[in-house]
Amino acid sequence: MRTVVEAPNGALVALEADPAGAEDARLAAEAGLVLVREVLQLRCNLPLERPSTCRTRPFRAGADEAEFLRVNNLAFRWHPDQSDWTADDLARRLAEPWFDADGFLLLDDEDDGDDEDHDEGILAFCWTKVHPPAGTDPALGEIFVIGVDPTAHGRGLGTEMVRAGLDHLAAQGLTVGMLHVEADNQPALRMYERLGFSRHSSHQWWARPGSPVPAAGRG
Ligand SMILES: CC(C)(COP(=O)(O)OP(=O)(O)OC[C@H]1O[C@@H](n2cnc3c(N)ncnc32)[C@H](O)[C@@H]1OP(=O)(O)O)[C@@H](O)C(=O)NCCC(=O)NCCS
């Protein structure tokens, strides 16, 4: 899909392409446009070689909303689509026909003490989404959103949470994992490459220099 915006004189002022190719880049560059956002689609084969070591549990509607929003908004505070989510933003996704609480995995921040009722909140989440076959694509098991509380980054939790999501998807018979990631999100890209993901396609937005970063409208 290629969407173009032209000025009244016919000059190209914005271009969006998914999947983007060399011809899109050529057209945009000729018009003096710059790449303002690139989101990569990565895929991997399922199941992975080894399962997750994380003890996750499913999202509980009516109980986990506030903790999810806290961690999501901290982890994604820089993100064009995923930042500043409100309770309404979350409620809308929870009401989607594809929503499955068993595929929305949370990692509790467990207290090491004796108090079993002690609730420390959550450290991380991995929300999955299943896409039925479409066109030439097989059924896809998506890592829809993955986030770790920034105070716990770099401890291996992100990697194990993605594994947990992929384990859940593979257990449903899915053989292809998929996700979207900003092309400049280096920590996430490194994590996904280590897990065996590779680039499938690229969604690009080109605009005049200084233009705001556009929303992707995904999910
Ligand atoms: C991406 C994210 C989930 C990784 O979680 P994590 O628990 O820190 O990940 P891990 O500890 O398993 O580390 C994964 C890799 O990222 C690296 N990494 C983690 N934090 C990093 C940082 N701030 N800067 C650079 N690299 C970082 C780790 O070193 C590791 O790479 P290595 O194996 O080469 O050392 C986490 O950074 C996060 O929540 N980011 C914000 C939300 C996000 O970007 N989600 C992915 C959207 S597609």
CA of 217 to the centre of ligand 1 (A): 24
Digit-coded pLDDT (tens) for 99-149: 999 999 999 998 554 445 446 799 999 999 999 999 999 999 999 999 999
Predicted structure pTM score: 0.91
Mean of pLDDT over the chain? 93
Task: State in Å: Cα 4 to ligand 1 middle.
Answer: 34
Q: Give the residue whose CA is nearest to atom 27 of ligand 1.
A: 187
Percent of the chain at pLDDT > 70 equals 95
How much is the average pLDDT of 212-217? 81
Q: What pLDDT sits at residue 219?
A: 61
Would you list the domain boundaries of the chain?
A: 40-200
Q: What is the model's pLDDT at position 214?
A: 83
Ligand 1: atom nearest CA of 154 is: 11
The residues lining ligand 1, judged by C-beta closer than 6 Å to any ligand atom, are 75-76, 146-148, 153-159, 179, 181, 185-188, 190-191, 194
Mean pLDDT, residues 6-17 taken together: 94
CA 5 to ligand 1 center in whole angstroms: 36
Fold of 40-200: Aminopeptidase (3.40.630)
Confidence of residue 216 (pLDDT cuts 50, 70, 90): confident
Q: Tens of pLDDT along 143-189?
A: 999 999 999 999 999 999 999 999 999 999 999 999 999 999 999 99
DSSP letter string, the chain = -EEEEE-TTS-EEEEEESS--HHHHHHHHHTT-EEEEEEEEEEEESS-SS------EE--TTTSHHHHHHHHHHHTTT-TTTSS--HHHHHHHHTSTT--GGGEEEEE---SSS-TT----EEEEEEEEEE--BTTB--EEEEEEEEE-GGGTTSSHHHHHHHHHHHHHHHTT--EEEEEEETT-HHHHHHHHHHT-EEEEEEEEEESTTPPPPP----
CA of 74 relative to ligand 1 center, distance in Å: 14
pLDDT of 22 > 90? The answer is yes
Q: Tell me what pLDDT residue 118 has.
A: 44
Pocket mutation for ligand 1, best pick of 73, 128, 153 (most atoms within 8 Å of C-beta): 153
pLDDT band at 211 (very low <50, low <70, confident <90, very high): confident
